[in-house]
A = this chain, B = another copy of it.
Amino acid sequence: MTAFDTSTASDTLPVTQRTQIKRQPQRGNYDRALIHQILDEALICYVGFVVDAQPFVIPTAYGRVGDQLYIHGSPASRMLRTLKEQVAVCVTVTLLDGLVLARSAFHHSMNYRSVVVFGNATVVDDPTEKLMALQAFTEHVMPDRWAAVRPPTPQELAGTLVLALPLQEASAKVRTGPPKDDADDYALPVWAGELPLRLTPLSPIPDPQLPSSIEVPTHVQHYGRPSIGVAK
């Protein structure tokens, strides 16, 4: 992707004590490409960190370039002030692909793709990498948006704290397919199957201050998430 993209194709991350999937291990996956795809499709990550033995879980936007996950915000934020001290962090994303409707209450489930990343974040000081991370945030949320908008000023860049978390210790967990009912329950007259769910856009709402002469651009009008690897 860029000079900062240090990933190598089609390989697998090492399994560590923290990333080993213990519950439903058949759903675990350490494939680097799959982990990247899930991170690229999701829009919000949940950042877990500890302050005085108290866990905090904060939802935030992010971007990915190669083997780096970037998060950003105000230098005054408690989350970023904590994380930049290189404390242990856990970042989790989940794509909810559907509801799994079984014949018994007990076997109801969800189809999902999730990623959990462990590590320690570091501050991005290099201005080139910082600008690239900000571009990655914008393009992650909406491809083709970066080129259409005013880029950050030096003051805006200076007022944004960017942290990088290496994608070295991470796992994916995936469930797909129909419910798994108990043998005896298949005879019950209960509808069973999957109800797929998708995050879909509604009609764009123009800013009240937008001149009516400015038309909705293609990158907004035809917006959609990539949905890689999901049954359509």
Contact = CB atoms under 8 A, between A and B. Distances in A.
Interface in A183-228: 185-186, 188-210, 214-217, 220, 223
Contacts of A61: 110
A108 interface: yes
Chain A binding site: helix, strand, loop or mixed by DSSP? mixed
B205 A192 contact: no
Interface string A111-125: 010101010000000
A168 interface: no
Interface in A63-105: 73-74, 76-78, 88-92, 94, 96, 98-99, 101-105
Contact of A57 (B46, B73, B74, B160): B46
A189 to B, nearest CB: 6
Interface residues on A, range: 35 or more
Contact of A54 (B18, B196, B198): B18
Given A99-B141, A102-B149, A193 B178 contact: no
A229 interface: no
Given A23-B74, A150-B188, A207-B179, A101 B145 contact: yes
Interchain residue pairs A-B with the least CB separation, the first 7:
A48-B57, A48-B55, A57-B92, A196-B202, A104-B150, A46-B46, A192-B207
